[in-house]
Amino acid sequence: MSVLPAPEEKAASVQAMFDRIAARYDRVNRVMTFNADQRWRRELVRRIEIGPGDRVLDLACGTGDFSEICRATGAAAVGLDFSRGMLEVAGQRAPEGAWVQGDALRLPLADGSFDAAVSGFALRNFVSIPPVLHELARVLKPGGRLGLLEVDRPANRAVRAGHSLYFDRVVPRVGGWVGRDAAYRYLPQSAVYLPTQQELVRMLQEAGFKQIRKRSPMFGAIQSVSAVRA
């Protein structure tokens, strides 16, 4: 049975869902990824060379994982999310952080105000991806770096079969057990919202990005994308 919201209901439905699961979100992520999600974030932060003096936007920041990793490099991070519940947990984890509630389609941020931007496992939650990429390009300085983490489907047929069993069957059960919420059935189903690699490259180019590179950790089950604002 599908748990995907209708297009006109997606924004409100996703916001309510993340508000509801915010308190348990970190624990479920660690269990479902065997704690690898933090390693993927750190690797991407290193790859796009975030460091001292950088001002970084953590888009759809959730409870602040990317922001925490960026601050550890000496960068100043601003975490923005649609969910007030997620931001409350982020603020409890890091009271010193800068947390902003806002819509990714209309960022309440000035043009060219960031040196870099990161976003983790959020593309599938946006109502529309192209305007989000255009907004990211707008708030980045020319030459600004972008890092995106998302789920993916492995290209290898045998690996894809094993991944499908875990992602489509095990993840909803583990999420429901640990997170105590049927919302975790949304995770595997929401992958249908993701563009293909070719489509994502085209979207990034049309938004004003170049030097687009993709890595595929976890045997292709994850996509780690970097790009540079033209």
State the CATH number of the domain containing residue 93. Answer: 3.40.50.150
Q: Which percentage of the chain shows pLDDT scores above 90?
A: 65
Residue 1 domain-assigned? Answer: no
Q: How many CA atoms lie within 13 A of 71 on its CB side?
A: 14
Residue 223 is part of which domain span? 7-229
Contact 214, 194 (CB under 8 A): no
Categorize the per-residue pLDDT at 22 as very low, low, confident or very high, splitting at 50, 70 and 90.
confident
pLDDT of residue 112: 98
Kindly report, residue by residue over 216-227, the tens digit of the pLDDT.
998 899 999 999
Q: What is the mean pLDDT of residues 87-111?
A: 97
Categorize the per-residue pLDDT at 172 as very low, low, confident or very high, splitting at 50, 70 and 90.
low
Q: What is the mean pLDDT of residues 36-52?
A: 97
- The domain tally of the chain equals 1
Specify the amino acid at residue 194: L
State the average pLDDT for the chain. Answer: 89
Inform me whether the pLDDT recorded for 215 exceeds 50. Answer: yes
Q: What is the mean pLDDT of residues 33-42?
A: 90
Q: What is the mean pLDDT of residues 92-104?
A: 96
Which token pair is 69?
Answer: 């990793």
Give the helix/strand (H/E) hosting 100: strand 98-101
Residue 65 domain-assigned? Answer: yes
Categorize the per-residue pLDDT at 179 as very low, low, confident or very high, splitting at 50, 70 and 90.
very low
Inform me whether the pLDDT recorded for 177 exceeds 60. Answer: no
Q: How many CA atoms lie within 13 A of 230 on its CB side?
A: 11
Nearest to 114 by CA among 167, 67, 160: 67
pLDDT of residue 194: 94
Residue 147 domain-assigned? Answer: yes
Inform me whether the pLDDT recorded for 175 exceeds 60. Answer: no
Kindly report, residue by residue over 1-19, the tens digit of the pLDDT.
456 777 778 888 888 888 8
Place of tokens 């990161």: 118
Dmax (CA) for the chain in angstroms is 48
Residue 208 domain-assigned? Answer: yes
pTM score > 0.75 for this model?
A: yes
Residue 2 domain-assigned? Answer: no
Inform me whether the pLDDT recorded for 164 exceeds 80. Answer: no
Q: Which percentage of the chain shows pLDDT scores above 70?
A: 89
Residue 181 domain-assigned? Answer: yes
Angle between helices 25-33 and 84-93 (to 10 degrees): 80
CA distance 64 to 60: 9
Contact 209, 229 (CB under 8 A): yes
Q: What is the mean pLDDT of residues 47-56?
A: 98
Q: What is the mean pLDDT of residues 126-145?
A: 97
Q: Enumerate the β-bridge partners of residue 57.
A: 78, 117
